[in-house]
Structure 1
Amino acid sequence: MTVYEKPTLEIPQVEVVLSEYFQSTVTEITPLEGGNLSTVFSFVVLDKEYVIKFSDLAGHFEKERFISKLLSSQGIPFPSCHRLGKFQSLDYLISEKISGHNLASCSPEQRRHLLPEVVQLLTRMNHVELGETNGYGMINSDGNGTHNSWTEYVIAVNAENQTGSFWEGWYDLFKTSCLEKDVFDECYNRLLAYSTYNEPHRYFIHGDFHQFNILSDGQHITGIIDSNGKYGDFLVDLATLDWHLQTLDVIQQYQNYQQQIDISIPNFEERIIGAKYYNGLIGLRFYAKMGWKDAYFGLRKELLSLTN
């Protein structure tokens, strides 16, 4: 099995890149944990904090730049982008660093206290105005979705042929990893059935809305980072958050808040199940590709029991 490994860089290489953009002295270049697909460093220029991310996935950062403008222009605390460029075979993106630590580093009590604020931010983010964009599924660098419908996107993202993407050759995982073809097929058939309920809804989806991409100072939420943006049913983000914060009764808190602000969500139960199957199939493949067997079997159990 080939496990994906993100790019490796040394600090002197990062210094070379930053010296080409910043005229002032760059200090405190520090590798950051997290980020499964990018290598990330923080640094300081004139007492202001920034981050630089490196990726070998083509087009990864053009999309982030679009999403940054979409969200930050509408008051969502998402890092503003400063420069996108190339270093050797890698793309890089320099952006502001939002203060705070990820929600995962907060105590259980703090996470419980912060959850209402997380739910409010999630709701605001999912309901940003999308302007003249069109399409569903993954957001391109031009701001449009990659497919004409949600179901078309779901079929494409689970197809065998994914040439040129992170998932190229992913069918090999059935032979080289813990990924099971019969389990995948069963969950995929359920996904197609429930996706009909998600189909009519087009909103902004963060795509990775969990405790490692939500920042806090311990008292309040300070921002969100690392969107894998899509257009579709916003309940995909809720399903992600619920999977990662299983002890906090996320869905009930979310529904309470929607009722409080008078947002009606028709077919909620069917749509959240469709969202969980959508996330779940990506999760099964990702955990198998990364070699994370415990996470794979935990998610496998939840998916198979969803509609029993």
Structure 2
Amino acid sequence: MTYEKPKLVMSEIEKVLENHLRPGSTEITPLSGGNISNVFSFILDGKGYVVKFSDLAGAYETENYVSNLLSSQNIPFPKCLGLGRTSQLTYLIMERMEGRNLSDCTAEEQTLHLPEIISILTRMAAADIGATNGYGWIGANGNGSHTSWKDFVVAVNAEDQTGTFWENWHDLFRTTCLERDVYEEIYCRLMDYVPYNESNRSFIHGDFQQWNILSNGTRITGIIDGNCMYGDFLVDLAILDRHMPWSDVIKAYQNYQEKAGIVTPYFKERLMGAYYFKGLDGLRFYAKMGWNDAYQNTRQFLLNLTA
């Protein structure tokens, strides 16, 4: 069974905004995007905001932390104004950033933004996380969920995912297009590259692509959402490359690093590990969502990867 986002009626949304902020919110409008959240924009006292709802436990605690981390380091990420619960749903209220989803721009327009996007990616990777520890999912306290990258990779691919979005995910082998032999093949390849990614610990957005990047037509105005974690920041580069295959993202990144005098040790091996890590998660996600074309495209890409 594919995942369905929670449904809300307008009166529920109005009540949340009135209770957490104050009366007077107008132009409450559903927004596209968001695979696990229902997202709405609204106006209050002439300013734009966003409220998101999810039925997943602790859905936005990390986003609240990440908002404080990135916005304090001059990275264009929306500031949080409120976090709470209503009925069985968690909600998060944030400022609305100027611009529209980069996905609404043409491929040519997206490519023109690429140098700035890579600059932001590099700045996110350089965010000061020295006061935290751990790898993997970032918790509400700012620490990672696991003691090593390898432990994290093993854990997120384990069968027992009780209480998470992936609970009973092995059922997907029976009920969807997810193929066990393909999954296990990619997992084995991933584990071969884990040692190259292991020693690199930076902030990772985790869903760094056009639907989570905002533009006003001339510049990038914001980065939103994310499946944030600690680990090798090349995961974000791999995501961007897979979503902008027409833009030669990897070459643009290497050119940027060369001009900045930045050396990335074991770049090719780490990038392979990043492709396999996100690709494997993508196979599982696309199968659960019923996105067969995306599944087949990712499957072919991963199986054709060579060192």
Same fold (TM over 0.5): yes
SS in 2 for 1:247: coil
- 2:47 is the alignment partner of 1:48: yes
State how 1:227-266 maps to structure 2 within 5 Å: 227-266=226-265
Q: Does the 8 Å contact 2:17/2:23 carry over to 1? A: no
For 1:302 and 1:212, how far apart are their aligned partners in 2? Answer: 21
Q: Does the 8 Å contact 1:24/1:46 carry over to 2? A: no
TM-score (norm 2): 0.99
Alignment RMSD (CA, Å) = 0.8
Question: Which stretches of structure 1, 4 residues or more, deviate above 4 A after TM superposition?
Answer: none
Partner AA of 1:17 in structure 2: V
SS in 2 for 1:83: strand
Q: Does the 8 Å contact 2:81/2:95 carry over to 1? A: yes
Q: Does the 8 Å contact 1:133/1:143 carry over to 2? A: yes
For residue 60 of structure 1, report the CA deviation from its aligned partner. 1.4
Q: Partner residue of 2:294? A: 295
Q: Does the 8 Å contact 1:149/1:199 carry over to 2? A: yes
Q: Partner residue of 1:170? A: 169
Give 5+ residue unaligned stretches, structure 2. none
Q: Does the 8 Å contact 1:110/1:219 carry over to 2? A: no
State how 1:204-219 maps to structure 2 within 5 Å: 204-219=203-218
SS in 2 for 1:212: helix
SS in 2 for 1:31: strand
| Aligned positions, number | 307
Deviations 1:248-297 (A, max 9, x none): 00000001101111111000000000000000110000000000101000
Q: Partner residue of 1:101? A: 100
Q: Partner residue of 2:87? A: 88
Q: Does the 8 Å contact 2:81/2:94 carry over to 1? A: yes
State how 1:6-155 maps to structure 2 within 5 Å: 6-155=5-154
Partner AA of 2:287 in structure 1: A
For 1:147 and 1:53, how far apart are their aligned partners in 2? Answer: 27
For residue 71 of structure 1, report the CA deviation from its aligned partner. 0.4
For 1:23 and 1:138, how far apart are their aligned partners in 2? Answer: 33
Deviations 1:201-226 (A, max 9, x none): 00000000000000000110001000
Q: Partner residue of 1:194? A: 193
For residue 131 of structure 1, report the CA deviation from its aligned partner. 3.0
For 1:256 and 1:242, how far apart are their aligned partners in 2? Answer: 15
* Percent of residue pairs bearing the same amino acid type: 57
For residue 22 of structure 1, report the CA deviation from its aligned partner. 2.4
Deviations 1:70-104 (A, max 9, x none): 00000001010011011110000001001100111
SS in 2 for 1:60: coil
- 2:299 is the alignment partner of 1:269: no
For 2:295 and 2:271, how far apart are their aligned partners in 1? Answer: 20
For 1:13 and 1:65, how far apart are their aligned partners in 2? Answer: 22
For 1:270 and 1:11, how far apart are their aligned partners in 2? Answer: 49
TM-score (norm 1): 0.98
Q: Does the 8 Å contact 1:239/1:272 carry over to 2? A: yes
Partner AA of 2:240 in structure 1: L
